[in-house]
Amino acid sequence: MDPAVYPGDYDLYDVLDNVMQSFLCIEAAPTLPPEVSNLPGLEQGWVGTVAITGAFNGAVTFQSSRAFARQAAAIVFKGDAIDDDAARDVIAEITNMLGGNIKSGFATADKEACHLSLPFVSISEVAIPKAHLVMRLWAHCESEPVCLSLFQADAAASA
């Protein structure tokens, strides 16, 4: 895939902000990476992952602090007695929505469609085998750190 057709940082930020505003009624504010801005909490958070196949082969990951996951679940489920299962479900849904919005940018009338896998949520960073990082965006949502990343499958892996 020609790098010129990747979404830019600005496009990824728009996707992240639109999902946060439509699903949770909160804004995503771009920030610098943790090594520059000292973002606490991501090392104890969750990572949601979805694979994209078709016109684009790769994956989208959404990483959040545990506090953000619980805040988001409290918004969705309208309560504050939120357990880890509810928080993970909300991270899975956010990841699914982000992946769906990103994959739609790769499917055009002259290319094959893209398909999205079911989301997977883990408590540690997920290795995306046979793929490389295309772009990564850091943001704050309700003062908690989040990270949206796009990976593309290596040419040999997608052949």
**Gyration radius of the chain over CA positions:** 15
The number of CA neighbours under 13 Å toward the Cβ of 121 is 20
Which two three-digit tokens encode residue 77?
A: 């489920």
Q: What is the domain range of residue 153?
A: 3-33+43-158
Query: Is 73 inside a domain boundary?
Result: yes
**Number of domains present in the structure of the chain:** 1
Instruction: Give 17-54 pLDDT, tens digit per residue.
Output: 999 999 999 999 888 776 555 556 666 789 999 999 98
Cα(91)–Cα(93) distance, integer angstroms: 5
Query: Is 10 inside a domain boundary?
Result: yes
Which letter does DSSP use for residue 151 in this model? E
Cα(146)–Cα(143) distance, integer angstroms: 10
Query: Is 27 inside a domain boundary?
Result: yes
Q: What is the pTM of this model?
A: 0.86
Q: What is the CATH number of the domain that holds 104?
A: 3.40.1550.10
Query: Is 38 inside a domain boundary?
Result: no
Instruction: Give 98-145 pLDDT, tens digit per residue.
Output: 999 998 887 665 667 889 999 999 987 778 889 999 999 999 898 888
CA 138: distance to chain centroid? 10
Query: Is 51 inside a domain boundary?
Result: yes
